[in-house]
A and B are shown apart, each in its own frame.
Chain A
Amino acid sequence: MSGAPWLSVWLARRLGAVLLVLWGVSLVAFSLQIICPGDPAELILRTRYETPAPKKMAQLRRSMGLDRPAHEQYLAWLGRVLCLDLGRSYRTGEPVAAQIAARLPATLELALASFALVVALSTLLGLCAVWRGGRWLDRLLQPISLGLVSLPSYWLALLLIALFALGLGWLPVAGFGGPATLVLPALTLGLGAAAMQGRVLRVKVLEVMGQDYLRFAMAKGLSPGRILLRHLLPNALVPMITLWGMSLGSLLGGVVVVETIFAWPGLGRLLVESLLGRDLPLVQGVVLLMALAFVLSSLAADLLQRLLDPRLSAEGSGV
C-alpha cells in the first residue's frame, strides 16, 4: 500500500520517455542545419565581412566537419552538445553557452514574475465563482476573461505601453533594470495565461463545490475559512499543478515576443536576433534549452501532483 516504490517506478518510466523526447528534440534542432538554405561556410564568411573565396570556404568546411555525411555530423554534434559544448556563434565567434548564460537570468526573472502572476491571479479568478459576495464579480469577469484570453500578447503589450507608459507616464516604455521595468512585460506575458487558467480553475472549483465531501465538511460544522483552505482549495488546486507546470514552460516560449517588444535582454530576443542574423548555433542552443526547460517543468509538475495527491502516488499504472 505504500506509495514510494510505485512512485519511483513511475518516475523511472517518465524519465525514460523524457530522454526519448529530448533525443527527438535534438534531431529537430540539428535538422535546422539541413533546412537552412545556403552554405554555412559562406554564411560565416559573409557575416565576418570576408569574401567567400572557394579555397577559404573549403578549408572552413573541413575544419567544421561539413564535408562529412549528415549522420556523422549529427553524432559529432550530439556528442559535443552532451558535453554542453554548443559551438560558437557564427557572428561573434563567442561560445554559444556563454552567450546563453549571459541572457538567461533576465528571461528567468521575467518568466518567474509572470508565473507568480498567473498562479495568484488565476486562483483569485477561479475563486470568485464561489465567494458569496462575488457573484456579480464572477458574472462580470466571465466575458472579461474571455476577452483577455483572446488578446494577442503583442497587442496587449502595445495597449499597456500606450496607457501606462505614454499616456499616464507611470512606467517606462521599455528597457531592463529594476522592478518598474518588469511590470509591463510580466503583465503582458501573464495576463492571458492567468485568464485562461482562471477559467479552468473556476470550472474545477464549481465541480469540487458539488462534491459530497465538501457538503459533508459543511455538515460537520466547519467554518467557511477552514472549508476553503483545507478542503476546497487543495482539491481544486492539485489538478491545476500539471497545467501550471506546462504554463511555466510555455511562458519561457512566450518570452520571445514580449522581450522583443520591451527590449528585454533575455533569451527570447537573443533567439530572434540570431534568427534574423542567421546565426544557426545560437538558434540551436536556445531551442534546445527552451525545450529542455519545458519538458522538465512539465515533469516536475507531474511529480509534484503525484506527491500531493495520495490517490495518484499509490497507483502504479498510467504513464
Chain B
Amino acid sequence: MSERRPGAGRIWAGGLLLALLALAVWAAPLLAPQDPLRVELGQRLQPPSAAHLLGTDQLGRDQLSRLLYGGRVSLLAGLAASGVALVLGLAWGVGAGLAGRTGDFLLMRTADVGLAFPGLLLALVLVGTWQGGMVALVTALTLTGWAWWARLARGLIQEAKSREYVLGGRALGVGGWRLLGCYLLPQMGPPLAVAAAMKTGWIIVALSALGYLGLGIQPPHPEWGAMLQQSRLYMSRAPWLMLAPGGAVFLVVLACNLIAEGLRRRWQIREVRWL
C-alpha cells in the first residue's frame, strides 16, 4: 500500500490524530467531567484518579476539563491565525509575482520587514504591548506569519511563470485571471498545502508559547501554554500536571507535521526550507 501511494500512511495517521483531537475539543462541553473554572481548594493537586482522570491543579480544578476547554482556544486561534496569514500572504506574494518591477520591489521589501523578526518575536511584542485579548492574539500571529507566506508564494509563482506550458498558454493569448486561475495557481497547490500543514503546527506552538510567557489568554480561562506554565511551579509535587498540556500541543504539532511529511512524499516536494 505504502509503495503505491507514498506518504499515505503518514497523511492518514496525522489526519486521524488531528480529527480526534479536534473532535474532543469541539465536544468539550459533553466530554468534560466538570466546569473548567470550578475551584475546589480541598481537592488541590490530586493525582490522577477515577474522579479526576488527569488529576487536579493548584486550585483543585479538574485538569481534563481544563485541557479540553483549553484546546478550543489553541486550535481555534491557531487555525484562524494560520488561515488569515495564508490568505493575506498568498495574495501579497501573488500580487508581487505578477506586478511589475516597482510593485514587486515595494511589496517584497515590506514582506522583508516582516521577516526580519526572528521566530515569535513580533507576535510576542505585539501581544505584550497591545494587550487586546483574543483579537490581538490572532492579529499578532497573523502579522508574524503573513510575510513568510508572501515570500513563499512569490517564489512559487515566479517558478510557475517560467514553466513551459505557462509560456505556451501566454503565447496562445491566455492572460489575466484565467492565466492565474487555470495555469499558475494549480501548480502552487502542493507546496502550499505542505507549507500550510507545517505552518499551522508552528503557529499553535507559538500560541501556547505566548500563553506560557503569560502574554496570551488571560487566567482563569484555560489555555495549554498557561497550564504548562502553572505546572512548572508544582513539578516535584505534581509532575503529572505538565504531561497533559504539553503532550496535547505535541500531538497537534506532530499530526500537522505528519500530514506535511506525507504530502511532501506524495508529491515528491523537497523539504520546505524557510521556517
Touch between chains A and B, by CB atoms below 8 Å: yes
Chain A residues near B (Cβ < 8 Å) = 17, 20-22, 24-25, 27-28, 32, 35-37, 146-147, 149-155, 158-159, 161-162, 166, 196, 199-200, 203, 243, 246, 249-254, 256-257, 260-261, 271-272, 275-276, 278, 280, 283, 287, 290-291, 293-295
Known: A35-B130, A253-B121. A154 touches B228 (CB 8 A): yes
Given known contacts A21-B109, A151-B250, A158-B242, A261 and B271 CB-to-CB distance under 8 angstroms: no
Q: Are B118 and A152 in contact (CB under 8 A)?
A: no
Residues of the A chain whose Cβ atoms lie less than 8 Å from the Cβ of B258: 146
B116 & A154 in contact (Cβ 8 Å cutoff): no
* B26 → chain A closest CB, angstroms: 22
Tell me, yes or no, whether B209 is within 8 Å of chain A by CB: yes
- Chain A residues closer than 8 Å to B249, beta-carbon distance: 152, 155
Stretch at the interface among B64-72, B85-93, B161-169, B229-237: B229-237
- Nearest chain-A residue to B232 (Cβ)? A158
One of B27-35, B174-182, B211-219 at the interface? B211-219
User: With a CB–CB cut-off of 8 A, which chain A residues contact B232?
Assistant: 158, 261
Complex interface bits, B142-178 against A, C-beta within 8 A gives 1, otherwise 0: 0000000000000000000000000000000000000
Q: Is the CB of A149 within 8 A of B257?
A: yes
Residues in A whose Cβ lies below 8 Å from that of B212:
154, 257, 260
Q: Which of A17, A149, A200 has the most CB of B within 10 A?
A: A149
The reply to whether the CB of B196 lies closer than 8 angstroms to some CB of chain A is no
Judging by beta carbons under 8 Å apart, are A253 and B112 in contact?
no
Interface residues of B, count at CB 8 A: 51
Scoring B residues 81 to 115 as 1 if CB is less than 8 Å from chain A, else 0, what string do you get?
00000000000000000000000000001101100
**Shortest Cβ gap from A265 to chain B (Å):** 16
Interface positions of B (Cβ within 8 A of A): 109-110, 112-113, 116-122, 124-126, 128-131, 201, 205, 208-209, 212-215, 225, 228-229, 231-232, 235-236, 239, 242, 245-247, 249-250, 253-254, 256-258, 261, 270-271, 273-275
Contact A150 B113 (CB under 8 A): no
Q: How many Å lie between the Cα of A260 and that of B232 in the bound state?
A: 11
Instruction: Say yes or no: A36-B124 contact (C-beta < 8 A), given A154-B228, A199-B271.
Output: no
Whether B129 lies near A155 (C-beta < 8 A) is no
- Knowing A257-B209, A276-B214, the reply to whether A146 touches B130 (Cβ < 8 A) is no
CB proximity of B142 to chain A, nearest CB, Å: 14
| Chain B neighbourhood of A276, CB < 8 A | 128, 214-215
Question: How far is A81 from B235 in the complex, measured between Cα atoms in Å?
Answer: 43
Is chain B's interface secondary structure helix, strand, loop, or mixed overall?
helix
Using Cβ atoms and an 8 Å threshold, which residues of chain A touch B201? 150
B120 contacts across to A, CB distance below 8 A: 253, 256
**Which secondary structure characterizes the binding site on chain A?**
helix
Q: Nearest residue in B to A166 (C-beta to C-beta)?
A: B236
By a CB distance below 8 angstroms, the chain A residues around B128 are: 272, 275-276, 283
Q: How far is the CA of A164 from the CA of B264 in the complex (A)?
A: 36
* CB-contact partner of B129 in A151, A199, A283, under 8 A: A283
Residue from the list B119, B126, B257, B270 in contact with A203, Cβ < 8 A: B270
Nearest chain-B residue to A242 (Cβ)?
A: B273
Q: Which residues in A have their C-beta under 8 angstroms from that of B225? A: 154
Please state if A153 and B273 are interface contacts (CB–CB under 8 Å): no
In chain A, what residue has the closest Cβ to B225?
A154
Q: List 16 A-B contacts (CB under 8 A).
A: A21-B112, A28-B113, A36-B129, A150-B201, A155-B247, A155-B250, A158-B228, A159-B242, A159-B246, A250-B119, A253-B118, A253-B121, A261-B232, A272-B215, A275-B215, A294-B116
> By the criterion CB–CB under 8 Å, are A36 and B113 in contact?
no
- Complex CA distance for A73 and B254, rounded to whole angstroms: 46
Residues of A within 8 A of B110 (CB): 24
Sample of 15 further A-B pairs with CB below 8 A, known A146-B258, A250-B119, A283-B125? A25-B117, A28-B122, A35-B130, A153-B209, A155-B242, A158-B235, A162-B235, A162-B242, A166-B235, A250-B275, A254-B119, A257-B212, A275-B215, A287-B117, A290-B117
B129-A275 in contact (CB<8A):
yes
Residue of chain A at shortest CB distance from B120: A253
B110, B213, B253, most chain A CB atoms within 10 A: B213
Contacting residue for A200 out of B109, B118, B273, CB 8 A: B273
Given contacts A150-B257, A152-B205, A155-B228, contact A256 B242 (CB under 8 A): no
Name which residue of chain B comes closest to A158, CB basis: B242
Q: Looking at the assembled complex, report how far the CB atom of A146 sits from the nearest CB atom of chain B, in whole angstroms.
A: 6
Cβ contact within 8 Å between A35 and B129: yes
> Which residues of chain B have C-beta atoms less than 8 A from A162's C-beta?
235, 239, 242
A200 surroundings in chain B (CB, below 8 A): 271, 273
Contacts of A196 in B (CB 8 A): 275
Bound together, the chains give a CA A251 to CA B205 distance in angstroms of: 16
Whole-angstrom distance between the Cβ of A200 and the nearest chain B Cβ? 5
